[in-house]
């Protein structure tokens, strides 16, 4: 049998990123229609989001921390801030139109604004007042802080201590995220450090482009099956198995990525290439999905979803709406920006 060779190319992860965006829309649609009693969580996002952090870490390079901060702020915080502004405007207008009250629209939008300004990953209630989460854009903030923290570790800590520092930071971040909701996505960024570091490690040791040992190929699936089987047969061992599963939860997304890269070679048709395009612009797609996720009152739509066909239709409409918005931003906005710049230059002259 001919050996499958994975090439280290710029777009090697685009198909997975595109599929992840589709899974994000589907998962959120299933959650949003919960008001009708027909919705449910598919619990698919965990491994996909961990894989995205690993993909990001695959491109990590040690640089001066000031340079990394400036680059990440431009690449992540600027789109976040722009999207947040449009979300607040859209949310206020939609609530005004739907509920017919400026007062309600403004009050509810202020709650959204507070959550976006604080970068809350989860909705937070303070003295009966709810500050809404920043939605799917929590990932952007976590990615920002993950890169900053990992750069700090690489800058100020000896190389042999990197993995220990990464583990400590990630465990502390996981504990903080479990017990409370930290502002600006810092705790989730701390937790993401382990996955970003693993992406860097995979690139450095060529884990995605070279074949793995036969021993690992046999042992890892057996360990996964054994942990699941023991959990089903002996529920009293749940705590012990959960501890064992922690390192496996870090390794599994890497295995998932490796398997996907092997399968990725066989998909080169029109549909798969369109999905790759979505993956290439996944940052914009995620921002625009967050816009409709927060601005549109999906709980009103949920009241009318009472069948599988209706659920599929909502997923399809939502996904294609996000694609259209993303297409508009990617193709039209640069032209508008260029036109404005030319007019400003002409006025200065």
Contact between 315 and 114 under an 8 Å Cβ cutoff? The reply is no
Highest mean pLDDT among 210-214, 228-232, 252-256, 333-337: 252-256
Has residue 38 got a pLDDT over 50? no
pTM of the shown model: 0.86
**pLDDT tens-place string over residues 265-278:** 777 778 888 888 88
| Distance in angstroms (rounded) separating the CA atoms of residues 238 and 227 | 10
**pLDDT tens-place string over residues 55-78:** 999 989 888 999 999 999 999 999
Question: Which one is predicted more confidently, 94 or 209?
Answer: 94
Contact between 142 and 206 under an 8 Å Cβ cutoff? The reply is no
| Distance in angstroms (rounded) separating the CA atoms of residues 335 and 328 | 11
Average pLDDT over every residue of 234-248: 67
| Domain ranges, ordered by start, for the chain | 14-348
Query: Helices 308-331 and 333-348 sit at what angle, rounded to 10 degrees?
Result: 30
Has residue 196 got a pLDDT over 60? yes
The pLDDT confidence band at residue 8, using thresholds 50, 70 and 90, is low
| Measured CA distances, 177 to 105, 132, 174, 187 (Å) | 31, 16, 5, 6
Question: Which one is predicted more confidently, 247 or 256?
Answer: 256
| Distance in angstroms (rounded) separating the CA atoms of residues 323 and 325 | 5
Highest mean pLDDT among 126-130, 139-143, 340-344: 139-143
Contact between 87 and 295 under an 8 Å Cβ cutoff? The reply is yes
Instruction: Return the number of other C-beta atoms located less than 10 Å from residue 320's C-beta.
Output: 11
Residue 315 tokens read as 């997923």
Average pLDDT over every residue of 315-329: 86
**pLDDT tens-place string over residues 91-123:** 999 999 988 888 989 999 999 999 999 998 888
| Distance in angstroms (rounded) separating the CA atoms of residues 73 and 80 | 9
Residue 104 tokens read as 């309600």
Write the CB contacts of 241 (distance below 8 Å, at least 6 apart in sequence): 227, 230, 231
Lowest-confidence range among 49-63, 180-194, 218-232? 218-232
Residue 92: the pLDDT is 94
| Distance in angstroms (rounded) separating the CA atoms of residues 196 and 50 | 9
Write down the H helix ranges in the chain: 14-32, 45-58, 65-72, 78-99, 102-118, 138-156, 162-179, 186-204, 214-233, 238-264, 270-280, 282-295, 298-302, 308-331, 333-348
Contact between 23 and 284 under an 8 Å Cβ cutoff? The reply is no
The pLDDT confidence band at residue 262, using thresholds 50, 70 and 90, is confident
Write the CB contacts of 333 (distance below 8 Å, at least 6 apart in sequence): none
Q: Maximum distance among all alpha carbons in the chain?
A: 78
The pLDDT confidence band at residue 222, using thresholds 50, 70 and 90, is confident
């Amino acid at each position: 049998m001919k050996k499958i060779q994975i090439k280290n190319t710029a777009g090697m992860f685009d198909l997975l990123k595109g599929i992840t965006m589709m899974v994000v829309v589907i998962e959120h649609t299933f959650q949003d229609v919960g008001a009708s009693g027909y919705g449910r969580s598919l619990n698919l996002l965990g491994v996909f989001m961990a894989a995205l952090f690993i993909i990001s870490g695959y491109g990590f390079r040690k640089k001066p921390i000031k340079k990394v901060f400036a680059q990440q702020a431009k690449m992540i915080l600027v789109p976040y801030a722009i999207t947040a502004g449009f979300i607040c405007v859209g949310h206020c207008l939609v609530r005004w139109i739907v509920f017919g009250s400026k007062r309600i629209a403004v009050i509810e939008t202020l709650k959204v604004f507070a959550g976006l300004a604080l970068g809350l990953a989860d909705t937070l209630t303070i003295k009966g007042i709810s500050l809404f989460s920043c939605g799917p854009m929590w990932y952007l903030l976590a990615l920002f802080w993950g890169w900053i923290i990992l750069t700090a570790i690489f800058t100020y800590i000896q190389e042999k201590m990197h993995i220990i520092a990464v583990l400590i930071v990630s465990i502390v971040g996981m504990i903080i995220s479990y017990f409370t909701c930290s502002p600006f996505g810092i705790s989730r960024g701390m937790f993401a450090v382990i996955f970003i570091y693993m992406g860097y490690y995979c690139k450095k040791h060529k884990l995605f482009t070279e074949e793995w040992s036969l021993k690992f190929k046999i042992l890892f699936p057996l360990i996964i099956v054994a942990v699941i089987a023991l959990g089903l047969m002996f529920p009293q061992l749940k705590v012990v198995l959960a501890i064992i599963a922690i390192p496996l939860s870090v390794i599994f997304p890497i295995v998932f990525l490796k398997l996907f890269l092997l399968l990725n070679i066989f998909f080169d048709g029109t549909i798969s290439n369109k999905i790759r395009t979505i993956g290439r612009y996944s940052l914009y797609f995620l921002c625009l999905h967050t816009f409709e996720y927060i601005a549109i009152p999906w709980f009103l739509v949920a009241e009318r979803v009472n069948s599988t066909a209706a659920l599929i239709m909502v997923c399809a409409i939502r996904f294609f709406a996000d694609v259209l918005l993303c297409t508009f931003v990617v193709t039209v906005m640069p032209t508008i920006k260029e036109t404005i710049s030319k007019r400003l230059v002409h006025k200065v002259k």
